[in-house]
Amino acid sequence: MTDKYTTLVNQVVGKNIAKRLGLPRPALLRRYTPGQPLATGPVLVQGNTSGADELAATLLSWDLDVRRHAVPREKLGAIILVLDELNRPEDLEKPVLSAAASLRDLGASARVITVSRPATESASPAQSAARQGVDGFLRSLAKELRAGATANGIVLAESVQSTSPSALAALRFFLSGRSAFVDGQFLTVATEQGQLPPDFEKPLAGKVAVVTGAARGIGAAIARTLHRDGATLVLVDIPSAGDHLAAVANEVRGTTLQLDISSADAGQRIIDHAVQRHGHLDIVIHNAGITRDKLLANMDHGRWNSVLNINIAAQLRINEALLASEHFRNSPRIVSVASTSGIAGNRGQTNYAASKGGVMGMVRASAPLLAANGGSINAVAPGFIETDMTARIPFAVREVGRRLNSLQQGGQPADVAEAIAFLASDAAGGINGDVLRVCGQNLVGA
């Protein structure tokens, strides 16, 4: 799906017209391709804690051009603001204002990344105020950045070091072009678990992954991205999508399983297929989903039930089978596709939003069950993504959906797939029960 307006305003004439008329000027985002450098330029690590020192030393070991102090007028690829020892709101001033002095030096598609602690009840009121302050600060800064630059944050649980595997993995994800459409968001690293891969270009090597709804759209993009990252794939979709499913499977050299995920034995059939054809099962991506939009006043049983059944009840049933199976106990990973509609609500989507809110609740409550076997379960909540589904929205409504986010454009299916591939990796093992929005910081209203 193309967004012709974004292409137009990135050419000289279109750019000038848009500027004169005060129209949105979405940037062409830097998206990941294998071999691409992690950052677009030098990385400025600010903060004077031991966490900041250790992080800077690790970044140096990755051959990044690391600065501990700004060099005047040098174009920067990223600013990492380490705020892991805040005690009161006044502590924000010095690091925040010194980062402010370097903002004009950020290049196109640059990154600002905060590293902070959670504002939990265990912190003192002043400490919690400072920590929660990082949230508001970062989300506002994300709305001020231009030219495809983004701002995201990593929240380290109290006992977690700034150089723990998943903190580093989250840092790499946010720095890289893999997070092109993630903006104004936080990832929480809950534990020291997780393992960085021997080869950062193949983080899923040796893994067998199942993707539901893989015949088209976001599911097909997930299959391509997991394949690129080294996984062996089982692609699931309904029998009527069999031809498309086979085409995607050919491309990614995976096997197909024609299956309605809402059937009672879906979980067992997935396990049996993966084990019989590939020897094991490591990752399940719950992507298949449907919409049956109607205002609630006009809602009928059929629309309500089909959406709730496919989008959430099927995932719950499949997870139950997975958790009961001896074949899903070796650091198993589940990633579910939710939606920003499930966070902020959407007119005409009471059924869909209930199902997607349900996905997020399910993920939170399932986290300890997966952790028992060294595994994890997380969700990704896409905003406006350019797919067949959104291409059918009337033009004016579609334009509003596309532009009402900090990056002023819709995301690509690959953007959702990148976030899913990251959360499905062992490197992200310390992140569990979390929801990551891939929405360009959609103005969701919640």
Active site residues: 352
Token duo for residue 292: 């049956």
Number of residues this chain uses to bind ligand NAD (CB under 6 A): 28
What is the C-alpha to C-alpha distance for residues 243 and 249, in angstroms, rounded to an integer?
10
Choosing from 98, 390, 398, 444, the residue that interacts with ligand NAD (CB under 6 A) is 390
What is the C-alpha to C-alpha distance for residues 236 and 274, in angstroms, rounded to an integer?
11
- In angstroms, what CA-CA distances link 257 with 108, 173, 237, 254, 260? 42, 31, 7, 10, 10
Nearest-CA neighbor of 359 among 336, 341, 377?
Answer: 336
- In angstroms, what CA-CA distances link 436 with 54, 339, 346, 386, 433? 26, 10, 19, 18, 10
Contact between 204 and 229 under an 8 Å Cβ cutoff? The reply is: yes
Choosing from 130, 151, 215, 252, the residue that interacts with ligand NAD (CB under 6 A) is 215
Torsion, Cα 375 383 361 162, to 10 degrees, reads: 50
Nearest-CA neighbor of 28 among 383, 409, 419?
Answer: 409
| Nearest-approach distance from CB 430 to ligand NAD, in angstroms | 25
Burial class (CB in 10 A: 0-12, 13-18, 19+), 238: middle
Burial class (CB in 10 A: 0-12, 13-18, 19+), 442: buried
Q: Per CB under 6 A, does 335 bind ligand NAD?
A: no
Instruction: Point out which span in 109-117, 197-205, 233-241, 327-335 binds ligand NAD (CB under 6 A).
Output: 233-241
| Nearest-approach distance from CB 397 to ligand NAD, in angstroms | 13
Pairing mode, strands 43-46 and 66-67? parallel
Contact between 238 and 262 under an 8 Å Cβ cutoff? The reply is: no
Choosing from 114, 116, 287, 432, the residue that interacts with ligand NAD (CB under 6 A) is 287
| Nearest-approach distance from CB 381 to ligand NAD, in angstroms | 7
Q: Per CB under 6 A, does 310 bind ligand NAD?
A: yes
Token duo for residue 267: 């979980």
Choosing from 28, 290, 371, 393, the residue that interacts with ligand NAD (CB under 6 A) is 290
Q: Per CB under 6 A, does 415 bind ligand NAD?
A: no
Q: How many CB atoms lie within 10 A of CB 239?
A: 9
Instruction: Point out which span in 41-49, 59-67, 128-136, 283-291 binds ligand NAD (CB under 6 A).
Output: 283-291
What is the C-alpha to C-alpha distance for residues 265 and 277, in angstroms, rounded to an integer?
18
Q: Per CB under 6 A, does 237 bind ligand NAD?
A: yes
Choosing from 26, 184, 382, 429, the residue that interacts with ligand NAD (CB under 6 A) is 382
What is the C-alpha to C-alpha distance for residues 144 and 441, in angstroms, rounded to an integer?
12
Question: Using CB under 6 A, which residues numbered 31 to 70 contact ligand NAD?
Answer: none
Instruction: Point out which span in 116-124, 173-181, 316-324, 388-396 binds ligand NAD (CB under 6 A).
Output: 388-396
Nearest-CA neighbor of 210 among 149, 278, 285?
Answer: 285
Q: Per CB under 6 A, does 260 bind ligand NAD?
A: yes
Nearer to ligand NAD, 20 or 301 (CB): 301
Choosing from 385, 419, 427, 436, the residue that interacts with ligand NAD (CB under 6 A) is 385
Contact between 158 and 390 under an 8 Å Cβ cutoff? The reply is: no
Q: Per CB under 6 A, does 262 bind ligand NAD?
A: yes
Nearer to ligand NAD, 85 or 260 (CB): 260
Per-residue binding letters, 110-149, with ligand NAD (x by CB under 6 A): ----------------------------------------
Nearer to ligand NAD, 47 or 289 (CB): 289
Instruction: Point out which span in 78-86, 119-127, 151-159, 288-296 binds ligand NAD (CB under 6 A).
Output: 288-296
Q: Per CB under 6 A, does 378 bind ligand NAD?
A: no
Instruction: Point out which span in 119-127, 135-143, 149-157, 236-244 binds ligand NAD (CB under 6 A).
Output: 236-244
Q: Per CB under 6 A, does 346 bind ligand NAD?
A: no
Q: Can you give the binding site for ligand NAD, defined by CB under 6 A?
A: 212-213, 215-219, 236-238, 241, 260-262, 287-290, 310, 337, 339, 382, 384-385, 387-390
